Structure 1
Amino acid sequence: MTIPKPLSLSILATLLFTQSSRAQVSVKMHTLTGYEDYESFAYAACEKLQVVLNSTRFKNAVRQGSFTRTNGLTSQKIWEKIMNAHEVQGPGGKDSVVDLHARIITIEQDGTRWINNCKPGSWAGTIGIDGRGDGVTAICREKLKKFYDTKDTASLAGHYMHEYMHMLGFSHPGFRKSRSAVYKIGYIARDIIRQGI
């Protein structure tokens, strides 16, 4: 039996729409270096991040968002890039899997500048850094401890989302970085968790 061309295109369009509307992504933490007592906390943040990424609330917030530093992409295309999960920095992995590698900021790897930026009350207010293209995100020990002590998995998940945006090729140099896709999408993930997924 031959399916008429208009009908076959209609079926194909329906299948593609169904697949794209049900796009699912998983979050996998491959390595945790220096996290010691905080590993289970980090995995809990990843689990919440996965739920957020697959939520309608996240999809709508990103697709309707207004961002700077978008690499020329529309909000819809940014959401699609996140859901495709094809990292351009670091070792990468499978598409549709957010591949994370995390470590603690150390003086040996990052120098005194970043250690000083991590200190509570520093002018920089640093939470972490993106690993300079190696795909390994780093977090200030002080911030991780604070998130843990206050049971703030939302902020840790938001940090992972922020750094993951760098792994997808987005940046936030210069002034008004809080308006960038990197910052705002990290905030979206954090806020959805805080409001209850």
Structure 2
Amino acid sequence: MKYVLLGLLTFYSFIGNSQNRSIKVKIHSIKGYNQFEPFAAKAASLLDSVLNSEEFKTEILDGKFTKKNGLSNEQVYNSIIQSHELQGAGGEDGIVDLRLRTINKDEDHEVWLKRCELNSSAGTIGIDGLGDGIFAICPQRLELWAMSDDTAALAAHFAHEYMHLLGYSHNGLFKSRTLVYKVGDIVEAILNSKEKPFKTK
């Protein structure tokens, strides 16, 4: 009987821990950010706080999204918390692995350089790494955000691109309705809200 009770206690302890999991955001590599590296570190730290907040969990569980890969909102949330990357070098589950660089003429096609111009109709912010797991941001956008200390915008960019590593896309029409876009919007909205400090799980 005591073994049954011990087994039940172990089981419920596991369930409790899984429901209260926390994740970490870690910058593994960063290239081209130069003097803006501390700004990126600050944005990553804020993203960590958001992903571990009750506000973020509620927004994901109650939200309406397209392009969820057939998953329920709870399954989507669990996939974010598990942080098992399907693209790039990956890393340890439970850690949001960020590998960062800026878009540049040596590594990227000229079309991306034109799209990065702040007056471009494309409105490009960055690219998702095309399978290598390295997020590339337009240097003009990075500088603009850094100069205005808009860490919420950069954290949202990280969140958006990270969703691609988890296997989600925004191909097709109405991109703003997709999970990838909305997760970025949620992160930015929480950071810009008046409800800080965050209520962590």
TM-score interval for Structure 1 and Structure 2 normalised by the shorter chain: over 0.9
- Residue range with higher mean Cα deviation, 109-118 or 159-168: 109-118
How far the C-alpha of 1:190 sits from its partner, in A, is: 1.1
Take 2:103 and 2:10, find their aligned partners in 1: how far apart are those partners? 49
Match of 1:168 in 2: 166
Alignment of 1:5-16 (within 5 A): 5=4, 7=5, 10-16=8-14
Take 2:164 and 2:67, find their aligned partners in 1: how far apart are those partners? 11
Match of 2:143 in 1: 145
Alignment of 1:82-161 (within 5 A): 82-161=80-159
How far the C-alpha of 1:193 sits from its partner, in A, is: 0.9
- One-letter identity of the residue aligned with 2:185: Y
Q: Deviations over 1:106-154 (max 9, x none)?
A: 1221111111111112111011110101000000001000110110000
TM-score by length of 1: 0.94
Take 1:56 and 1:147, find their aligned partners in 2: how far apart are those partners? 26
Higher relative contact order (CA 8 A, sep 6+): 2
- One-letter identity of the residue aligned with 1:122: S
Take 2:99 and 2:3, find their aligned partners in 1: how far apart are those partners? 49
Take 2:20 and 2:172, find their aligned partners in 1: how far apart are those partners? 36
Take 2:3 and 2:15, find their aligned partners in 1: how far apart are those partners? 20
Please give the secondary structure, in 2, of the residue aligned with 1:103: strand
Take 2:145 and 2:11, find their aligned partners in 1: how far apart are those partners? 45
Match of 2:69 in 1: 71
User: Among the aligned pairs, what percent are the same residue?
Assistant: 42
RMSD after superposition? 1.3
- One-letter identity of the residue aligned with 2:183: I
Take 2:61 and 2:10, find their aligned partners in 1: how far apart are those partners? 24
- Residue range with higher mean Cα deviation, 128-137 or 107-116: 107-116
Match of 2:24 in 1: 26
TM-score by length of 2: 0.93
- One-letter identity of the residue aligned with 2:123: G
Match of 1:3 in 2: 2
Match of 1:180 in 2: 178
Q: Deviations over 1:141-177 (max 9, x none)?
A: 0100011011000000000000000010100011101
Take 1:174 and 1:104, find their aligned partners in 2: how far apart are those partners? 26
Unaligned runs of 5+ in 2: none
Take 2:102 and 2:125, find their aligned partners in 1: how far apart are those partners? 11
Match of 1:47 in 2: 45
How far the C-alpha of 1:65 sits from its partner, in A, is: 1.1
How far the C-alpha of 1:20 sits from its partner, in A, is: 2.0
Please give the secondary structure, in 2, of the residue aligned with 1:107: coil
